[in-house]
Amino acid sequence: MLDEVFPLEMLICGDKGLYKMKSSYDIYSLSIEVDNDTIEMIEEDSQGRSSGYITLTKSDNGFSGEWNQIESAARYSFTINQDVHKNELTPYYTTRLSGIIRSRIVNIDIDHINGTLEIQEKYGLKSRYKSKYTCKDKNCNKVIINPEGIIGVSSVEIYKNKSGDYKMIVLTADQNREITELRILSQIKKKTKAYSDYRSMLLAEYAKFNDKDLDTYLKKKQAHWIKSTSINLRKFHKADSTEIVSDRLKYQASSWIDIELWTEDFISGVQYKQYNWQPEVEVTAFAYHIDKSKAVTLTDVLDKDWNLTNLDSTIDNENSTWVVGYDGIYKIYFDRVKGIQRESYLYSDLTQYIDRGSWLDKLVDQNKIND
């Protein structure tokens, strides 16, 4: 049996069983009761203590389930798919399409996580239009937006047919329907790395772009976070080596990556790291030159006599970071109440401080990222 995020091997024989976590090799015994389509399992640790329970409910493709800590509110929901190939389980972050709207070539980004659709002209003024989309069917294979700012267009509807091809219906201001085919340029998949042992559960998410070097860079970034966090947790365990049932999955942490900018040859974003044993969410920006297959930093492009601290920022949060965006450089931090907070500094105001010929100067001059 396989949970895509936290892989495990499970063996069931009658009313007994066991499972092994693949990340830590921890083994737990199971006592099992079956009631029609529901399976209840009591988990026992290596010392024979009941440390959790698992409820599995039969579904069309396998089982949906939930693990619960037996003495606390800690829980983890999961799905076990039996008849679906693992690659088919992985959802997409973003689908990038190419098409034509009113005789203009456009790129279209469908953000499946945040529910937004962005249309950007490929040539000319390179205007961008972004808004929340509305799903027109249960699986959200058909979405619609009403883009304000596209002259002569009332609505744009994009749908995926049974063969996986995308098409677009543009309703013009005079109520004519223009149906065109869309070409898939790229699809970013959501990937995860995870680790779990008796006391801890770590989960890291990142995007997979089907670019070998870029994918390796992002995967290593999250793998390094899991390794360093697990090492730090072992220090906690060493200071208190007595394992009690209430410690089961006591420490939980997650890391995720948000993409701020994605062009043909450049990507930037922010890595967020959140821990249940500390209130602060850590943020770290990154930038990567796809064409040259290497990470770059803002210090590479700024005049040596000037740095970002010269900007009059109202954000004094020590845990902040600077990231490259579409229209400028953003100072970002994460607030538990307000969420992502940012200050923007437009490239037009920073041109004099950016080294001529640098990668950022070329991006701005070639009009690849700002209108």
Is the Cβ–Cβ distance between 178 and 170 less than 8 Å? Answer: yes
Look up residue 7 and give its amino acid.
P
Question: What is the pLDDT, as a whole number, of residue 313?
Answer: 66
Specify the pLDDT at position 253: 94
Q: Are 319 and 335 in contact (CB under 8 A)?
A: no
Tokens 């083994």 locate to 27
3-state secondary structure of 225: helix
| pLDDT score at 98 | 92
User: For residues 42 and 50, is the Cβ–Cβ distance under 8 A?
Assistant: yes
d(C-alpha 148, C-alpha 82), whole Å: 45
What confidence score (pLDDT) does residue 108 get?
92
Residue ranges of the chain with pLDDT lower than 50? 1-2, 83-89, 370-371
CA distances from 232 to 125, 237, 239 (A): 50, 9, 11
CB atoms within 10 A of CB 353: 16
Could you tell me what percentage of the chain is helix, strand and coil, using 3-state DSSP and rounding each to the nearest 5?
15, 50, 35
Comparing CA positions, the residue from 298, 286, 142 lying closest to residue 220 is: 286
Say what the pLDDT of residue 158 is.
94
* Domain map (residue ranges) of the chain: 8-88, 90-187, 197-365
Measured CA to CA, the distance from residue 83 to residue 307 in angstroms comes to 55
Alpha carbon distance, N-terminus to C-terminus of the chain: 50
CA-based angle 254:282:219, to the nearest 5?
A: 50
112, β-bridge pairs: none
Query: What's the pLDDT at 371?
Result: 44
Q: How many CA atoms lie within 13 A of 112 on its CB side?
A: 16
Q: Give the pair of three-digit tokens for residue 292.
A: 């040259």
* Residue 230: predicted pLDDT: 92
